[in-house]
Amino acid sequence: MTTTIDTGLTKAERVDVARELTKVLADSFAVYMKTHGYHWNVRGPEFFTLHNLLEQQYRDIWEALDEIAERIRALGEYAPQGYSTFANLTSIKDGDPDKDATAMLKELMKDHETVIATCRAALTSADDDGDDVTVDLLTQRLGAHEKFAWMLRSTLGGR
């Protein structure tokens, strides 16, 4: 049974936005995995503080993954699934548990900046296509990743 989607966006607009959201989902999933892994493996004199900071961040990202995937589905497209699929869609590399805490935080900060850039590109596409719902979702995700990058940068002693 085929049904039509009539939300005020054309099929081409929905496909365009979903394609960009797929990139956001892949980058978000990659930074989620790395943040969770570093949460497990961080060590040093600030272990407890960093362990908790990373937990707050990966929990937020985990919830957002579902929201992003469900938006892709609401647009009439399939959300990507599987590790290899995500790996092919993201430029964020796996973390290395041998790194010290400072190196982990620096890497995560850069990864959030990557997600920020991906969100900005997707937001522009959604805005150009008149998809206010996706614009709202991406604006919230953009704010979250900017905050996470700032927290990591401040923890490292930066602005």
CATH node for 11-155: 1.20.1260.10
pLDDT lower than 50: segments of the chain: none
Q: Where are the alpha helices (DSSP H) in 8-100?
A: 11-41, 47-74, 83-89
Domain residue extents for the chain: 11-155
Q: What DSSP line would sit under 55-70, residue for residue?
A: HHHHHHHHHHHHHHHH
Report the distance separating Cα 159 and Cα 149, nearest Å.
10
Q: Is the pTM of this model over 0.85?
A: yes
pLDDT digits (tens, 9 = 90+) for 64-78: 999 999 999 999 999
CB 29 within 8 A of CB 58: no
